[in-house]
Amino acid sequence: MSKANQNYSTVDIFSIARNRQKINTTVAVSEMPELAGMIVNADACLPFEVQIEGTDGIKGLPAAILTVKGCVQMLCTRCTKSVEIAIDREVPFLFVKSEAEANRLPVDEDEEWEVVVGSEHLKVADWVQEEVILSLPTFPKHEDCEAPYSEHLQTDMQEAVEEKPKPFANLRELLKKN
């Protein structure tokens, strides 16, 4: 069962999983304040395309696959100009009703499923924001750029090298005296 592209602010994730629903929606950056603080030109960013699809989980738990697609701009760590970062993330989730239930599940490092506490009123923007932030590079950079060249910086570096004291400069003279 698929639902048309609507604007869902909250969803009943247990119902989506149980009924194998597919929901298509969008989430604007303005709904994700932590993300907006990490990117540039947040006002110009197009909404993220989001798909939530209920599916068969493992261990008898309700499950869904979250797919998020979109683009953001961050500052390049090399040239400090804007660089576009494409977001294309698909993550399978298992849902439990409480933290205690999540803690009882055995931890399997190779497990591809993320286990989270679900809700009948899960805020889609919060869920998407977390996944987009996890997708962002720690050091965003262009594929082919260099740090900006500054003659002043080059001159300052040369002066620092020239001014550096040389502790063994007089060693030869001291050795001759002894």
3-state secondary structure 64-90: EEEEEEEEEEEECCCCCCEEEEEEEEE
Q: How confident is the model at residue 178 (pLDDT cuts 50, 70, 90)?
A: low
pLDDT of residue 59: 80
Question: What one-character DSSP code corresponds to residue 39?
Answer: S
**What are 44-69's pLDDT values in tens digits?**
999 999 999 999 888 889 999 999 99
Q: Which two tokens stand for residue 134?
A: 């996890």
Answer whether residue 2 shows pLDDT above 60: no
> Phi/psi class of residue 80: alpha, beta or left (left: φ > 0; alpha: ψ in -120 to 50)?
left
**What are 111-149's pLDDT values in tens digits?**
788 888 998 999 999 999 999 999 999 999 998 887 666
pLDDT of residue 160: 64
CA–CA separation, 55 vs 107, rounded Å?
Answer: 21
pTM to 2 decimals? 0.75
pLDDT of residue 169: 72
Q: How confident is the model at residue 31 (pLDDT cuts 50, 70, 90)?
A: very high
| Mean pLDDT of all residues in 28-34 | 96
CB within 8 A of 67, min separation 6: which ones? 50, 51, 52, 53, 89, 90
> Phi/psi class of residue 165: alpha, beta or left (left: φ > 0; alpha: ψ in -120 to 50)?
beta
| Mean pLDDT of all residues in 29-33 | 96
pLDDT of residue 17: 93
> Phi/psi class of residue 60: alpha, beta or left (left: φ > 0; alpha: ψ in -120 to 50)?
left
The residue with greater pLDDT, 101 or 128, is 128
